[in-house]
Amino acid sequence: MRTLAVLALLGAGLGTAFSQSAPGPAETPRSTGAGSTIDPASGSRLPLLAREAMADEASARIYDALAGPRGAPPRGTIAIALYSPETAMALGRIVSYLRTESALGPRLAELLSLITAREMNLAYEWGAHERAALQAGLEPAVIEVVRRNRSVTDISDDDALIITFGRQLFRNRHVDSDTFAALVERLGRQGTFDAIMLLTYTAMAGTLQQAVDQRPPADFGPEDLPAVGGVGTPIGRPGEFVELGPRPPLPPDVHEDSYYRFPLLRREELDPRGREIFDRLVGADQETTSRGPVGMTFNSPELVEPIQQINSALRERGVLGRRISEIVITATGREMNSQYQWVVHGAAAERAGAGRQVLDAIRDDGDLSALDERDAVAIAFTRELFREGTVRPATFAAAVDLFGARGTVEIAALIGDYLMMTMMYNALGMRLRPDQEPTLPHRAGAPVGAEWR
């Protein structure tokens, strides 16, 4: 069986494979081996879904909403996510707000999308947004600075600030206090959060694209997104760990009530629409938002519900079940060297029945060949996306064998969701609380993120 073949591959050394930066642009389409055939209509490993393929009427209504009045099959990220319809609907709500309702405007939205495409080497995303960026008024000289990873000294201060912010977030897993403060001064609190979400939503979209080997448009060439040095995030050397030293004190720009760079929002600070969302999700009897992801998302209230919808759709109503979902989230935290995700979701995975053998293998970058095949494939899928920027054909085929196409997409979506969330934490300088004990060994060669600065 293909599943047994991929387990043999796992035992042969995937646990020690790694790359120090993101991979180069997509290669020429290939069709060698199980799981690598590219569907000509979708440009990915998965075919486009037709409306009649929706499992029930609720899913069909989601399809109709995403297809629009002309009923054209969605393409790209949304087409991939449609294998998990509720996830697709939530992603559609996020991108609709960020591109049409946010105060940032289309020019800045396209610049932020291109920054993520460059840092993650996302050929499809770059191909989808470069023309839109030009139409939105983004100057070719600014696009070239991003494309070629050039100095920002010869462009406007505002554009230089946005590019610097994005580069710091990806490459360092944190943003300098001065850079963060300058962006808040330029965009305000909500504008800054929307800018963070444009960077991180695009990262989630890119994760889905990488998982299914989404190909760029036919006219996309190597010079559209050339291989350059210095981009992406070093993941470190799996299995080789270093001491982080004593827990650092809380920085001056991190608030004691929230443990990140914005204080907890009070209900009275929100506009009527924000208070309506607050009353529904937090409670009209509460005075402030909670700590953690829900509280920070209230800095842009229209994003609270769709972000929560993705999380609950995947963890509570998806086909993977809570145990596999928490294993995938915990493996994502490991690959991102996130103490916060490890502390929170390692405990959740243990409660869900993951077992110490599985959690130790994730934490210590251990061999997977002795694990249950479902656990091994889910962890390998996660490792490959971070370490290689793709999923190997045998691993992808094994995932489809074990979890189905929907389950495979939901694994990729969970990885993307928690990549998005962890990047949000890093941008906001989120710290562990005193009651949260760091227990994740830090990989040598990986940047020390916001949690330990």
Tens digits of per-residue pLDDT, 151-178?
A: 999 999 999 999 999 999 999 999 999 9
Q: Is residue 229 part of a domain?
A: no
Query: What gap in Å lies between CA 96 and CA 187, rounded to an integer?
Result: 20
Domain that holds residue 205: 95-224
Residues 38-65 have a mean pLDDT of: 91
Lowest mean pLDDT among 35-44, 115-124, 189-198, 378-387: 35-44
Residues 51-78 have a mean pLDDT of: 86
Residues 406-425 have a mean pLDDT of: 97
Residue type for position 175: V
**pTM for the predicted model, two decimal places:** 0.93
Residues 390-408 have a mean pLDDT of: 97
- 252-256 long-range contacts (CB < 8 A, ≥24 apart) are 252/177, 253/177, 253/180, 253/181, 253/429, 254/429, 254/431
Report CA 359 to chain centroid distance, whole Å. 22
Label each residue of 24-37 as H, E or C: CCCCCCCCCCCCCC
Residue 428's φ and ψ, nearest 5 degrees, are -90, 5
Q: Is residue 47 part of a domain?
A: no
Whether 32 has a pLDDT exceeding 50, the answer reads no
Task: Provide the percentage of residues in the chain whose pLDDT is more than 90.
Answer: 82
Residue 172: CATH number of its domain? 1.20.1290.10
At residue 35 the predicted structure's pLDDT band, cuts being 50, 70 and 90, is: low
The predicted structure's pLDDT at residue 3: 52
Whether 36 has a pLDDT exceeding 70, the answer reads no
Whether 19 has a pLDDT exceeding 80, the answer reads no
The predicted structure's pLDDT at residue 67: 86
The predicted structure's pLDDT at residue 11: 45
The predicted structure's pLDDT at residue 75: 87
Kindly report, residue by residue over 84-116, the tens digit of the pLDDT: 999 999 999 999 999 999 989 999 999 999 999
Whether 2 has a pLDDT exceeding 60, the answer reads no
At residue 22 the predicted structure's pLDDT band, cuts being 50, 70 and 90, is: very low
At residue 31 the predicted structure's pLDDT band, cuts being 50, 70 and 90, is: very low
Q: How many domains does the chain have?
A: 1
Nearest-5° Cα angle at 418, 166 to 105: 40
Q: Is residue 63 part of a domain?
A: no
Residues 1-17 have a mean pLDDT of: 46
Mean pLDDT of the chain: 91
Ranges assigned E (strand) in 236-363? 241-242
Whether 21 has a pLDDT exceeding 50, the answer reads no
Lowest mean pLDDT among 11-25, 258-272, 333-347, 419-433: 11-25
Q: Is residue 175 part of a domain?
A: yes
Query: What gap in Å lies between CA 372 and CA 10, rounded to an integer?
Result: 12
The predicted structure's pLDDT at residue 12: 42
Residues 320-335 have a mean pLDDT of: 98
